[in-house]
Structure formats: structure tokens, C-alpha cells
Structure 1
């Protein structure tokens, strides 16, 4: 896939206007309703011209989200986690691989301890 899953995209599928708030929600994993409420509050509480300028610049500069960027909701959650904390995501993936490796070693130990011919075959493969 040529599209980057860690890049900010406008979410035109869930857009109300230009898709900026929906894109921010997709990027961060926050519900789009809260992002829209926050945008309105920041605009009304004194950021009037700058929030609108930033909104239009983001809508003009950012690309639209490619269709089929995520294969599932679980995939979208994973990539949101990567964007929020790459180190934590890397640590989680490494932990999953360590767990798989440990379980595979347990299976190997079980079968080689009870089957000496299988143990000899496995040793010959190393």
C-alpha cells in the first residue's frame, strides 16, 4: 500500500464541511463529536480568526484519506496507537512476539521431551 497510515488525512467520508475535524478525530482516536465541540469552543473563546485560518489551511493542504486505508476497526485502533505513542506500540508488538516465541518454545519442549526421535530430527535441522 502506498498510502502512509501515520499521516494526517482529511476524512471526507465522515465530514460535515471539509473533513478537518473528522480527520483529526481519525488521527487521534478521539470521538469526532468532541473534536467538533472543542473546535467551536476554541473559536468562541478567543481564537476566532486563527482557528478558522488554521482550519482552512489544513483543509487546503492535507490530502483526502484513501479508501480502504484500514482493513478493520482493530487495524484503525492499532495505527492510532502508533501515532500517539510509537514506543509503546513497538513495545506491545515486541511483547506479543516474545509471548508467541515462548509458547512455541514450550510446544517444542513438550514434544521433544516425550519423543526422542522427534528431538533428534529437530536437532539435526539446527
Structure 2
């Protein structure tokens, strides 16, 4: 089964009725209680028929969260939430990490491939 980590899914496992609020919380990285309170407040303030209609339409149009996504650890979940909410920042962060790793590997390679007699002597002593 193919699934996308950046797509909105209903989270019926953590949901109360149909899992829409839990899915929104998982998608955005907000606490599910905050999303539920905001939904109730929006309904009570004056959006009564429209928030209920939007809730059921969202439940009808969205898919259930795949089991594979439920098994992710906390760091991986936070990473994908960041990708969904701020893709450019996430891309810059990943590029920066790779740039840093590349720089460190280049230093190691330069050190190892240099004509450092002291290093060669230490390696020969290890044999």
C-alpha cells in the first residue's frame, strides 16, 4: 500500500467521533485538545451549521491514517509535521545538515589523504 507522509489523514485511533480533529492536530503539530476546543468554540460562536457540515464533509473526503504512519517515533513525526507546515524551512534545514556533513567529510578526507608522516607512522604502529 502506498501512502504519502505529507497528506492529511483522519486519525481514528486518537479521535473521538470520526478522527477529523485528531487528524488536523497530527497534520499541523498542534495538541488535539486545542483543535477540539477551537472547533467547539467556532461552532458555538456562530458557525453552527457550517462547522458541523465541514466536519462531516472532511470525514467523508479524507482517508484513514495508515498503520505505518502510526508507528513513527516522535522525532520522525515532528520532522514530517515541519515539512507539511513549513516546507522551505525544512528543506533549508536538511540542506544545511548535508552541507555540514559534506564539509566534515572533506576535512577527514583531506587529513587522511595528506602526506602526513606522523599519521602514516601511527597507522604502521597499529599493524
Write out the 4+ residue segments of structure 1 that deviate beyond 6 Å after TM superposition. Answer: none
Q: Which residue of 1 aligns with 2:35?
A: 35
Counterpart residue number, 1:99? 100
Partner of residue 86, structure 1: 87
Q: Distance in 1 between matches of 2:12 and 2:92?
A: 33
Q: 2: CA distance between counterparts of 1:22 and 1:28?
A: 10
Corresponding residue pairs, total: 118
Shift in Å at residue 112 of structure 1? 2.1
State the shift of 1:94 in Å: 0.4
In structure 2, what is the Cα distance between the partners aligned to 1:85 and 1:71? 20
Greater shift in the superposed pair: 85-94 or 69-78: 69-78
Mapping of 1:27-66 within 5 angstroms?
27-66=27-66
Structure 1 unmatched ranges of 5 or more: 119-126
CA RMSD of superposed structures (Å): 1.9
Please tell me whether residue 76 in structure 1 is matched to residue 77 in structure 2: yes
Deviations 1:30-88 (A, max 9, x none): 00000000000000011110000000000111000000215311111111000001111
* Aligned position for 2:4: 4
What corresponds to 2:15 in structure 1?
15
Q: TM-score, normalised by structure 2?
A: 0.87
